[in-house]
């Protein structure tokens, strides 16, 4: 059975206000009826029945209609049917106030459930769906206001200070500051330079900027995030799927038990002397049993718990692609980080140029020309350096990429190799031996088979990289590793800085895959891999939980990953694990609460101690407590 408590979550505010009117009418009529009953004012025949029927219909009629619809679709066991049978039965045995009360409190419970689920959905949507409805595009040299969907890739758009960016694009005008809170959850402005990517949803804070549009409206980073959050609700956690299957079996069983509560004492009374069977008493116990048995507390609060976890994570820039990954991340005991762009800023600067050619400028022209179409952070750094030095780049042809090594290209009639020293070794080109010993990043170059020189670049750890490692250790995750294609000396140096003893360098993409496979060979390892590049996609897919850096990460990594960190902060990995653990803990609290209270009241109802009032608490009361408990996930700080 599925609880339909969320089916009004898309209602307008006006409709939501109207939802409370029937409950208010029923509550007033119920209270007035109980007062009249107390003073014995119901003197005419059937006057009490008529009064309580009027009190019942505002809240009972919608439920009776749902029960009838269920019958038409051969859904005999759902909470609407349970409530209808229980309350009509209460009227049949003269327990009018209790029949009205059960339906009234059930309806109030439904309204609270609707509100909780609707609130969680609206919070996430309001947090993320901040795409502007207009864009200022420059056409024929003039600004023109249009819908962002009509802007084509390659056009230029203008954003004034205080306006939100409608489309992804590259910065065309110097340097500007942007508020990235909608995407990353961080309130601190971020400075973006010319040529760097600006994402839809950011807000220009200090001046008018122009962007060259890089992606259509429906493929922007923000559109992708919204799609991920919407899809996340379709991917259910194992606990959630189990509860759904359990409810389908549980409901018919308790309905059968309710029938047996009436039938078995009757059969026993046929053969037992001295046993006084009173049909009304046993039917009342059966009805109490039915009210208690409604599994709404479980069916509503558990999905709400996972939805709350996804919402809480979204608020701080972490996107879980489903409740199943919230569950999976709680089991992680091994975290493996990529290095460049994940633990380090990925913002390289050229520190030194060594050339055997006629000038440094000639070497720089060859290297920058070869790297001009690459999206790698090292290539960006070389391009910026060449632009600062006013180097005119040459056209490149016959490009051959050697994964993990570099490029072989033809420039101005010359055959040029650009990459790490391993590339030159591969083609038997001799070079100074001290290049292999350097602990910094080297981009070596050879022209027409002869060594031509190198660029030395450096990268720095992200501000919170050491915090990320420290927080993971605080969560009792001690198996932390770094994998990188950089030289072992560089990776070991970073590992020592961050407190990670297992740091592995000189790995090609297939080397990373082999390393993860060797870790997975031990079933005790539950692995999360954290990366950002295209070459990380295979290991993100292989690991138990793949975590991608979403701000500057490649589309391939983001699509493959199970969790996306929007602000590229590695410390958010620990926050994601904390949210997963908090969600799981609250979900299990709700399961134990619902089962514990229901079991106790079921037993009391079966032996005639519990009344309809206790039954109402066991159903609606427990559902409300479970929902309030689930909402706690969104209120906590991570």
Higher pLDDT, 522 or 274: 522
| Beta strands in 420-519, from DSSP E residues, in sequence order | 441-447, 450-458, 479-483, 502-504
Confidence band for 429, pLDDT divided at 50, 70 and 90: very high
Residue 319 has pLDDT above 80, yes or no: yes
Residue 393 has pLDDT above 80, yes or no: yes
**Could you write out the DSSP letters of every residue in 127-167?**
HH----S-EEEEETTEEEEE-GGGPPTT-EEEE-TTPBP-S
Confidence band for 466, pLDDT divided at 50, 70 and 90: very high
Query: Between 572-606 and 296-315, two packed helices, what is the crossing angle to 10 degrees?
Result: 170
Q: What is the pTM of this model?
A: 0.67
Higher pLDDT, 402 or 53: 53
CA distances in angstroms from 92 to 8, 49, 231, 283, 291, listed in the order given:
31, 10, 47, 10, 16
Residues 6+ apart with CB under 8 A from 587: 237, 239, 301, 302, 305, 306, 630
Place of tokens 């024929």: 140
Each residue's pLDDT tens digit, 121-145: 665 555 455 667 899 999 998 999 9
- Domains contained in the chain, CATH given: 13-126+231-309+581-635 (no CATH), 135-219 (2.70.150.10), 323-345+461-561 (3.40.50.1000), 349-458 (3.40.1110.10)
Catalytic residue status for 338? yes
Query: What is the edge-to-edge ordering of all strands in the sheet holding 209-213?
Result: 142-146, 135-139, 156-159, 209-213, 169-171, 197-198
Mean pLDDT taken over the chain: 83
> What integer pLDDT is reported at residue 275 of this predicted model?
83
**For residues 426-434, average pLDDT:** 91
* Residue in 327, 338, 459, 532 annotated catalytic: 338
Residue 113 has pLDDT above 70, yes or no: no
> What integer pLDDT is reported at residue 436 of this predicted model?
83
Give me 288's structure tokens.
């109490």
Using the CB atoms, write b or e for 353-372: b if 16+ within 10 Å.
Answer: bbbebeeeeebbbbbbbbbe
Confidence band for 619, pLDDT divided at 50, 70 and 90: confident
Least confident of 239-248, 334-343, 348-357: 239-248
Give me 325's structure tokens.
């990954």
* DSSP structure class, residue 461: B
**For residues 570-582, average pLDDT:** 95
Question: Comparing C-alpha atoms, which of 99, 125, 107, 108 is closest to residue 34?
Answer: 99
**Do 565 and 343 meet the contact criterion of CB atoms below 8 Å apart?**
no
**Do 47 and 62 meet the contact criterion of CB atoms below 8 Å apart?**
no
Each residue's pLDDT tens digit, 42-64: 888 899 999 999 999 999 999 89
Place of tokens 């895959």: 513
**For residues 467-487, average pLDDT:** 93
> What integer pLDDT is reported at residue 226 of this predicted model?
63
């Amino acid at each position: 059975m599925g609880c339909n408590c969320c089916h009004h979550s898309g209602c307008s505010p006006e409709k939501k206000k109207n939802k409370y009117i029937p409950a208010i009418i029923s509550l007033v009529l119920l209270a007035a009826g109980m007062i009249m009953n107390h003073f014995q004012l119901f003197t005419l025949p059937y006057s009490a029945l008529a009064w309580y029927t009027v009190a019942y219909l505002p809240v009972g009629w919608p439920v009776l209609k749902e029960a009838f619809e269920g019958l038409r679709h051969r859904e005999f066991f759902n909470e609407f049917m349970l409530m209808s049978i229980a309350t009509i039965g209460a009227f049949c045995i003269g327990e009018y106030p209790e029949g009205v009360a059960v339906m009234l409190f059930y309806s109030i419970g439904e309204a609270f459930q609707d509100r909780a689920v609707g609130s969680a959905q609206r919070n996430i949507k309001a947090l993320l769906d901040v795409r502007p409805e207009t864009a200022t595009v420059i056409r024929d040299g003039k600004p023109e206001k249009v819908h962002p969907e009509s802007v084509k890739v390659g056009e230029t758009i203008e954003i004034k200070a205080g306006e939100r960016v409608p489309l992804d694009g590259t910065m065309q005008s110097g340097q500007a500051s942007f508020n990235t809170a909608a995407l990353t959850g961080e309130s601190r402005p971020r400075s973006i330079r010319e040529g760097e990517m600006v994402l839809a949803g950011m807000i220009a804070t200090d001046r008018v900027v122009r962007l060259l549009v890089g992606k259509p409206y429906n493929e922007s980073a923000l559109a992708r995030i919204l799609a991920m959050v919407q899809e996340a609700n379709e991917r259910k956690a194992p606990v959630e799927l189990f509860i759904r299957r359990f409810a389908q079996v549980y409901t018919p069983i308790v309905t059968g038990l309710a029938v047996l509560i009436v039938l078995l004492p009757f059969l026993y009374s046929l053969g037992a002397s001295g046993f006084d069977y009173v049909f009304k008493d046993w039917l009342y116990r059966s009805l109490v049993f039915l009210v208690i048995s409604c599994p709404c507390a479980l069916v509503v609060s558990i999905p709400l718990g996972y939805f709350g976890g996804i919402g809480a994570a979204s608020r701080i820039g972490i996107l879980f692609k489903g409740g199943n990954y919230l569950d999976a991340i709680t089991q992680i005991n091994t975290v493996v980080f990529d290095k460049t762009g994940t633990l380090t800023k990925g913002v390289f600067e050229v520190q030194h140029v060594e050339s055997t050619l006629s000038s440094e400028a000639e070497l720089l022209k060859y290297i920058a020309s070869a790297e001009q179409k690459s999206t790698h952070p090292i290539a960006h750094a070389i391009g910026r350096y060449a632009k600062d030095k006013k180097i005119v780049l040459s056209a490149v042809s016959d490009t051959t990429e050697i994964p993990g090594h570099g490029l072989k290209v033809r420039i101005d009639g010359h055959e040029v190799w650009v990459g790490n020293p391993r590339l030159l070794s591969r083609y038997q080109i001799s070079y100074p031996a001290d290049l292999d010993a350097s602990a910094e990043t080297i981009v070596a170059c050879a022209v027409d088979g002869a060594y031509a020189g190198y660029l030395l670049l450096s990268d720095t750890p992200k501000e919170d990289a050491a915090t990320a490692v420290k927080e993971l250790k605080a969560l009792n995750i001690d198996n932390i590793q770094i994998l990188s294609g950089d030289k072992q000396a560089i990776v070991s140096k970073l590992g020592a800085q961050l407190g990670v003893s297992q740091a592995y360098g000189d790995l090609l993409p297939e080397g990373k895959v082999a390393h993860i496979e060797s870790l997975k060979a031990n079933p005790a390892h539950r692995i999360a891999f954290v990366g950002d590049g295209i070459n990380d996609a295979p290991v993100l897919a292989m690991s138990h939980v793949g975590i991608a850096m979403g701000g500057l990460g490649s589309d391939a990594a983001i699509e493959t990953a199970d969790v996306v960190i929007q602000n590229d902060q590695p410390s958010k990995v620990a926050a994601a694990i904390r949210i997963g653990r908090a969600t799981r803990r609250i979900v299990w609290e709700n399961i134990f609460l619902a089962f514990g209270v229901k079991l106790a009241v079921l037993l009391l109802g079966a032996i005639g101690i519990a009344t309809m009032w206790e039954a109402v608490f066991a159903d609606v009361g427990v559902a409300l407590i479970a929902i309030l408990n689930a909402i706690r996930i969104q209120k906590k700080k991570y």
